[in-house]
Amino acid sequence: MTKKILILESNPKGTDQLRLNQEIRDIEAALRNSSQSNHFTVKPQLAVRIDDLQPTILREKPRF
């Protein structure tokens, strides 16, 4: 069974620019280099707003 890694990305206005794309690339690279890579999928959601949280969670159905 494939496990989903849901990454919710947001960089609020008036804050320093975060390197979120680099962090997602690093996570994906680490998974690719893992012997368990075929057991995971990465699902990034970009520029998430507070109103996006509930619909995204209901749609993606992550397990905590």
Model confidence pLDDT, tens digit, residues 18-53: 888 899 999 999 999 999 889 999 999 988 999 999
Separate counts of helices (H) and strands (E) for the chain: 2, 2
Distances (CA, A) of 32 to 3, 10, 54, 57, 63: 14, 24, 29, 25, 22
- pLDDT of 63 above 80: no
Q: Is 53 left (phi over 0), alpha (psi -120 to 50) or beta?
A: alpha
The stretch 2-17 carries a mean pLDDT of 88
The stretch 9-25 carries a mean pLDDT of 88
Q: How confident is the model at residue 12 (pLDDT cuts 50, 70, 90)?
A: confident
Residue scoring higher pLDDT (62 or 33): 33
